[in-house]
């Protein structure tokens, strides 16, 4: 379980396709405090740590299944050496819930379809898959590339997000470009509300 509050920007150091895809990710986290088997959200994808090291810099390895690649932007954008990733370690009991409940199970991929500077902030319009659009509501929460964000407006399958300067500098959102494909996880509460409505109409 995560909160969508990014705590480090990691970097892909190595990739190896050997059965599943294995990635080595550089981090500023103290790897001495990470256990093998721990969960770390990498651009919103919950991945399991399978190895750790600190030479020449702190790093951890994860193994990515074909299922995860098919559901996320890992295969579509293509992770590559040097790619920056939003990282968040799993929530501990007693931690502050600063964002919203995020599972790290990506629902689909959204596309950046418009960028518009607004003062010091940046307004970004995304297009969600039609099957997920019903779960996105104005002033509701979404997780995009692992970042907890508030939806400004919704127009059909398109929705807008305002990125303040802090979010742009503390995450990879400062690098956003038109046409980017991003990992989308809808709010769990919205999913259950929609499901209850379906049951109520039967």
Question: Does residue 101 surpass a pLDDT of 90?
Answer: no
- Residue 123 belongs to what domain range? 108-200
**Judgement on whether residues 85 and 113 belong to the same structural domain of the protein:** no
- How many domains does the structure of the chain reveal? 2
The DSSP secondary-structure symbol of 102 reads B
- Residues 74 and 137 grouped into a single domain: no
Together in a domain, 58 and 138: no
Pair 132, 166 in one domain: yes
Work out the pLDDT band at 189, boundaries 50, 70, 90.
confident
Asked whether residue 2 is assigned to any structural domain, the reply reads no
At 77-99, the pLDDT tens digits run 679 999 999 999 998 766 666 66
Instruction: Give the mean model confidence (pLDDT) for residues 158-185.
Output: 97
Asked whether residue 124 carries a pLDDT value surpassing 80, the answer given is yes
In a shared domain, residues 115 and 82: no
124 and 70 within one domain: no
CATH number of residue 166's parent domain: 2.40.30.20
Q: Which among 80, 137, 70, 145 has a CA at the least distance from the CA of 110? A: 145
The per-residue pLDDT for range 35-82, each reduced to its tens digit, is 999 999 999 999 999 999 998 999 999 999 999 999 999 987 679 999
The model's pTM is: 0.92
Indicate whether 15 and 74 sit together in one domain: yes
For residues 125 and 180, state if they share a domain.
Answer: yes
Whether the CB-CB separation of 187 and 140 falls below 8 Å is answered with: yes
- Among candidates 43, 71, 65, 66, which has minimal Cα distance to 131? 71
DSSP per-residue codes, 12-33? EEEEEEESEEEEEEE-SS-GGG
Indicate whether 114 and 38 sit together in one domain. no
């Amino acid at each position: 379980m995560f909160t969508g509050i990014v705590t480090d920007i990691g970097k892909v150091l190595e990739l190896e396709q050997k059965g599943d895809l294995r990635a080595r990710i550089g981090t500023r986290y103290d790897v001495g405090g990470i256990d093998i088997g721990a969960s770390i959200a990498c651009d919103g994808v919950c991945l399991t740590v399978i190895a750790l090291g600190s030479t020449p810099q702190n790093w951890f390895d994860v193994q990515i299944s074909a299922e995860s690649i098919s559901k996320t932007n890992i295969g579509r954008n293509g992770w590559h050496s040097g790619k920056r990733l939003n990282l968040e370690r799993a929530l501990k009991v007693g931690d502050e819930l600063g964002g919203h409940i995020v599972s790290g199970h990506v629902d689909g991929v959204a596309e950046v379809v418009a960028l518009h500077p607004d003062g010091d902030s940046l307004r970004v319009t995304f297009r969600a898959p039609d099957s997920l659009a019903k779960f996105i509501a104005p002033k509701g929460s979404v997780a995009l590339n692992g970042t907890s964000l508030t939806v400004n407006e919704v127009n059909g399958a398109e929705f807008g997000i305002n990125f303040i300067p802090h979010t742009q500098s503390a995450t990879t959102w400062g690098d956003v470009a038109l046409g980017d494909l991003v990992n989308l996880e809808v709010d769990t509460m919205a999913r259950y509300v929609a499901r209850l409505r379906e049951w109520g109409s039967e």
